[in-house]
């Protein structure tokens, strides 16, 4: 079968930056092993990966290639034993990249203990663990140096693979990283060999992220990239084209709490489970790695199933919807194991999967548009800027989710964090709309934006729930 240039690039992964050698562990060929393996009862390590299936690795900035999934350590915080069980499961799922931060409470200390215990057992991925930790912006040089040394001490490692600015969300944060004490700190950390590369995570606006990517300071970035919120995908593509590694922040949780989807969303994503569709969609966009904040070993099941794409079952064979909870051994779309006997070639299988994912995303979008009708917001952003500073597209996106996919609980939770999470989230909710009408002539779909904003507030405003992070 003749492949187009785009198809070859998606199969091979992004090219390395000029002058940089390709990764030493390129993407392996697709396996013909059954995906719907029998598994033991959940225990300390319910995940088992066949040694015949090498895990997928992708380039990640200037550092070593990383696994398709990254273990986020902000949830397994009940005890060191819990963290160790989750890290062990991550290893079994083919993960080699761990992401942590001082802001995650005892996470670094627990993680350091887990890594030491596993090392005594000879348990680590080929090439060792790749560890990213993060520092909040704004500290002076002395304080930043002290914080970095404390991170290394808690983790029990001589150096980090990546040090990231945690929450580069405001213009002053970017100035700190490029010209201020942050620039000195990052240069010192690199010069001393305490970090292999530097990056940032951001919840900021498009212009801020574009400036960070264009600065040449950062080798990797963490962005909110979601199946149900694709506004930052052009930024991710830009970064990847320039050799900057991209981590998708919380595609399962902040992406819509897809581990517990409402019935409407399950139907809209069929024959895929919403989590599977979200993960496969981002993987097919070439995103370097997807963060997964696991609280229990069972939460790593999707990472196990998708760490190597593997030949999926025929979509037409789907006879029942996937399990609603990833902890109950979810089925890959199709439900029938595929083998070399029913897959003509790895390439044709992947191309067929790519097509099926694209069709599923089209059906997903069509379902929301069908339910919302003429009130669907297409997120074109032509309504901006608002004289009152309202984030109109984001507010109407939450309304889209509530009415278009039955995601009222998630949309309400996110809506009620507005103004309560500092620079990590929006500051103004729909009640700040003054009905000035400035946005009306700019909307190409002639949406009655002020009335839709009033409806959004009426539907979603409620008592706020506790925020975990970001």
Tell me the CATH number at 120: 3.20.20.100
Instruction: Tell me the pLDDT band of 407, cut-offs 50, 70 and 90.
Output: very high
Q: Between 39 and 115, whose confidence is greater? A: 115
pLDDT digit string, tens, across residues 308-332: 554 333 332 232 333 334 334 445 5
- Return the exposure string of 396-428: e unless at least 16 CB atoms fall within 10 Å of the residue's CB, then b: bbbbbbbbbbbbbebbbbbbbbbeebeeebbee
**Spatial distance between the Cα atoms of 410 and 387, rounded to a whole number of angstroms:** 28
- Residue 47: is its pLDDT beyond 60? no
Q: Tell whether 168 and 287 lie within a shared domain.
A: yes
Instruction: Tell me the pLDDT band of 424, cut-offs 50, 70 and 90.
Output: confident
Q: Tell whether 300 and 391 lie within a shared domain.
A: no
Overall number of domains in the chain: 2
pLDDT digit string, tens, across residues 154-207: 999 999 999 999 999 999 999 999 999 999 999 999 999 999 999 999 999 999
Asked whether residue 361 is domain-assigned, the answer is no
Domain boundary among 288, 309, 330: 309
- Residue 149: is its pLDDT beyond 50? yes
pLDDT at 401: 98
pLDDT at 152: 98
- Residue 234: is its pLDDT beyond 70? yes
Q: Tell whether 263 and 382 lie within a shared domain.
A: no
Domain boundary among 291, 309, 327: 309
Q: Tell whether 260 and 407 lie within a shared domain.
A: no
Q: Identify the DSSP state of 229.
A: B
pLDDT at 56: 79
Classify the C-alpha dihedral 35-40-42-48 as positive or negative: negative
Distances (CA, A) of 42 to 14, 126, 253: 36, 25, 22
pLDDT at 307: 73
pLDDT at 237: 97
* Mean pLDDT on 238-263: 96
User: Which residues touch 201 (CB under 8 Å, ≥6 apart)?
Assistant: 134, 164, 165, 166, 167, 168, 221, 222, 223, 247, 249
Asked whether residue 469 is domain-assigned, the answer is no
- Residue 251: is its pLDDT beyond 50? yes
* Mean pLDDT on 283-295: 96
* Mean pLDDT on 213-219: 97
pLDDT at 178: 97
Q: Tell whether 301 and 408 lie within a shared domain.
A: no
Asked whether residue 42 is domain-assigned, the answer is no
Is 455 strand, coil or helix? helix
In DSSP notation, 384-419 reads PSPTT---HHHHHHHHHHHHHHS-HHHHHHHHTTTT
Asked whether residue 5 is domain-assigned, the answer is no
Asked whether residue 347 is domain-assigned, the answer is no
Q: Identify the DSSP state of 312.
A: P
Token output for 123: 């348990």
pLDDT at 54: 55
Instruction: Tell me the pLDDT band of 34, cut-offs 50, 70 and 90.
Output: very low
Q: Between 186 and 20, whose confidence is greater? A: 186
Q: Tell whether 293 and 379 lie within a shared domain.
A: no
Q: Tell whether 124 and 257 lie within a shared domain.
A: yes
Q: Tell whether 294 and 391 lie within a shared domain.
A: no
Q: Tell whether 392 and 274 lie within a shared domain.
A: no
Q: Tell whether 76 and 194 lie within a shared domain.
A: yes
Q: Tell whether 272 and 410 lie within a shared domain.
A: no
By percentage, how much of the chain surpasses pLDDT 70?
A: 78
- Its domain, for residue 441, covers 372-460
Q: Tell whether 297 and 405 lie within a shared domain.
A: no
Is 167 strand, coil or helix? coil
pLDDT, the chain, mean? 84
Asked whether residue 327 is domain-assigned, the answer is no
* Mean pLDDT on 115-128: 97
Asked whether residue 303 is domain-assigned, the answer is yes
Question: Which of 205-209, 255-259, 341-345 shows the lowest per-residue confidence on average (mean pLDDT)?
Answer: 341-345
* Side-chain-facing half-sphere of 95: CA atoms under 13 Å: 32
Question: Which of 38-52, 104-118, 192-206, 352-366 shows the lowest per-residue confidence on average (mean pLDDT)?
Answer: 38-52
pLDDT digit string, tens, across residues 377-398: 999 999 999 999 999 999 999 9
The helix (run of H) or strand (run of E) holding residue 196 is strand 195-201
pLDDT at 466: 56
* Mean pLDDT on 90-118: 97
Contact between residue 312 and residue 349 where contact means Cβ atoms under 8 Å apart: yes
* Mean pLDDT on 421-438: 93
Asked whether residue 412 is domain-assigned, the answer is yes
pLDDT at 310: 45
Instruction: Tell me the pLDDT band of 465, cut-offs 50, 70 and 90.
Output: low
What are the φ and ψ backbone dihedral angles of 49, each rounded to 5 degrees?
Answer: -110, 130
- pTM higher than 0.85: no
């Amino acid at each position: 079968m003749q492949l187009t240039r785009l198809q070859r690039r998606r199969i091979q992964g992004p090219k390395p930056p000029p002058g940089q050698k390709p990764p030493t562990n390129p993407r392996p060929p697709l396996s013909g092993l059954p995906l719907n393996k029998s598994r033991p009862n959940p225990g300390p390590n319910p995940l088992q990966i066949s040694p015949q299936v090498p895990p997928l690795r992708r380039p990640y900035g200037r550092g070593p290639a990383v696994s398709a999934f990254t273990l986020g350590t902000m949830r397994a915080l009940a005890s060191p034993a819990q963290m160790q069980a989750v890290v062990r499961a991550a290893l079994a799922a083919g993960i080699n990249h761990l992401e942590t931060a001082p802001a995650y409470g005892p996470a670094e200390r627990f993680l350091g203990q887990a890594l030491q215990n596993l090392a005594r057992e000879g348990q680590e991925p080929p090439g060792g663990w790749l560890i990213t930790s993060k520092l909040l912006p704004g500290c002076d040089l002395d304080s930043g140096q002290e914080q970095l040394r404390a991170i290394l001490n808690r983790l029990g490692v001589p150096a980090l693979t990546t040090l990231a600015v945690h929450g580069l969300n405001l213009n002053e944060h970017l100035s700190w990283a490029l010209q201020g004490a942050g620039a000195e700190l990052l240069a010192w950390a690199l010069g001393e060999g305490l970090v292999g590369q530097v990056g940032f995570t951001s919840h900021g606006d498009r212009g801020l992220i574009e400036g960070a990517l264009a600065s040449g300071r950062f080798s990797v970035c963490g962005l909110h990239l979601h199946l149900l919120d694709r506004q930052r995908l052009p930024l991710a593509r830009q970064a990847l084209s320039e050799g900057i590694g991209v981590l998708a922040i919380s595609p399962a949780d902040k992406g819509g709490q897809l581990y517990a989807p409402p019935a409407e969303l399950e139907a809209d994503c069929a024959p895929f489970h919403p989590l599977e569709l979200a993960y496969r969609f981002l993987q097919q966009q070439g995103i370097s790695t997807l963060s997964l904040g696991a609280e229990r070993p069972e939460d790593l099941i999707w990472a196990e199933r998708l760490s190597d794409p593997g030949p999926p079952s025929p979509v037409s064979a789907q006879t029942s919807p996937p399990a609603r909870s990833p902890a109950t051994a979810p089925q890959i779309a199709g439900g029938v194991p595929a083998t070399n006997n029913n897959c003509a070639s790895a390439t044709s299988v992947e191309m067929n999967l790519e097509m099926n994912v694209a069709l599923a995303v089209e059906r997903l979008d069509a379902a929301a548009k069908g339910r919302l009708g003429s009130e669907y917001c297409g997120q074109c952003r032509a309504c901006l800027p608002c004289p009152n500073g309202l984030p109109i597209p984001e507010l109407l996106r939450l309304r889209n989710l509530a009415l278009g996919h039955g995601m009222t609980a998630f949309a309400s939770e996110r809506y009620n964090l507005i103004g309560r999470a500092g620079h990590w989230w929006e500051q103004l909710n729909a009640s700040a709309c003054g009905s000035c009408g400035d946005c009306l002539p700019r909307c190409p779909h002639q949406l009655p934006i002020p009335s839709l904003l009033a409806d959004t507030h009426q539907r979603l405003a409620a008592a706020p729930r506790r925020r975990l992070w970001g």
